[in-house]
Amino acid sequence: TGTLKVVGNLQVEGTTTTINSTTITLNDKNIVIADSAADSSALDGGGITWGGDSILNNPSLTYSHADKRFDLNRALNVNPTDGGLVSYIRANSNGGAILELRNEKLATNLSGGASLGKITFRGLNSNSDQHYFADIASRAYDRTAGAETGSIEFSAVDSGVTNNNVMYTFTPTQL
């Protein structure tokens, strides 16, 4: 019992380091994981896992070398505090992906419509340059309970030029 204070550096060598603590506080703003990895393939599967052996399908964030991405096995909720935009990426009950964009700071009546969100499709062209190809946008026109009105808009690139005239807008009666 008591407090062990180490003034200076502490180096622990071994295959397992266990810390039984309810709170860990770090002053450093960067945590390095797998700093001895020779290349990115050695990072495969590395990340953070929450919970112990008693939890089935532990929540985790891991790196996939083959896909060059991070894999998160739970829904992702992006909820910035500075504008009311809320985004969710999750799987539905059939295993398909759902991306939900919400703007929770809209006025009740919106003349001309207000953007709820937009998904932009970009990719590499034949010169390997990033290029915009299309987008899907949603607009809200009325948020009054019982009178909610909105639309979905599709636009695309035509012959290499972003052509806002090639836009299709659908209202609920057209869907």
Query: What pLDDT is stored for residue 108 in this prediction?
Result: 52
Query: What pLDDT is stored for residue 59 in this prediction?
Result: 92
Element (H, E) at 162: strand 161-170
87 vs 35, more confident: 35
Angle, CA of 123, 125 and 127, to the nearest 5°: 135
In this prediction, what percent of the chain has a pLDDT beyond 90? 13
Question: Going edge to edge, which strands form the sheet with 130-142?
Answer: 109-124, 130-142, 149-158, 161-170
pLDDT of 29 over the 80 cut: yes
Q: Which of 28, 20, 63, 27 is nearest to 45 (CA)?
A: 63
Q: Which of 59, 49, 101 is nearest to 80 (CA)?
A: 101
pLDDT of 109 over the 80 cut: no
In this prediction, what percent of the chain has a pLDDT beyond 70? 68
Segment among 62-66, 95-99, 116-120 with least mean pLDDT = 95-99
- Token pair for residue 166? 């090639």
Confidence of residue 80 (pLDDT cuts 50, 70, 90): low
